[in-house]
Structure 1
Amino acid sequence: MIQRIQTIYLLLTVIISAGLIFVFHLWTDNEGTKIYALDNYLYLGLFLGSALLALTSIFRFKDRKSQFVLGRLNIILNFILLGIFVYQSLSLSGEINVSEKGIGILLPIFSIVCLVLANKAIKKDEDLVKSVDRLR
Structure 2
Amino acid sequence: MIQRIQSLYLLIISILSSLLIFFSFQYNIIEMSHIEHLRLNIISAQNKYLLIASVLNLVISVDALTILFLYKNRKLQMTLCHYLTGMNLILISLMYYGAKQINGIPVYQLPFIIPIINIILSQLARYYIKKDDDLIKSADRIR
Could you tell me how far apart the structure 2 residues matched to 1:112 and 1:4 are?
19
Give the 3 Å change call, closer, same or farther, for CA 106–91 of structure 1 in structure 2: same
Q: Is the Cα contact below 8 Å between 2:52 and 2:94 reproduced in 1? A: no
1:89 CA drift (Å): 4.7
TM-score, scaled to structure 2: 0.83
The one-character-per-residue Cα deviations of 1:10-33 (angstroms, maximum 9, x if unpaired) are: 0000000113431x2121122302
Structure 2 alignment gaps of length 5 or more:
46-50
Provide the secondary structure at the position in 2 that maps to 1:37: coil
The one-character-per-residue Cα deviations of 1:67-103 (angstroms, maximum 9, x if unpaired) are: 1111111111001111222334555543xxx431222
Q: Percent identity at matched positions? A: 36
Report matched runs for 1:93-132 at 5 Å: 93-94=103-104, 98-132=105-139
TM-score, scaled to structure 1: 0.87
Q: Is the Cα contact below 8 Å between 2:25 and 2:112 reproduced in 1? A: yes
Structure 1 alignment gaps of length 5 or more:
none
Report matched runs for 1:45-60 at 5 Å: 45-60=55-70
RMSD, aligned CA: 1.7
Provide the secondary structure at the position in 1 that maps to 2:35: coil
In the other structure, the counterpart of 2:5 is: 5
* Number of residue pairs the alignment of both structures matches: 132
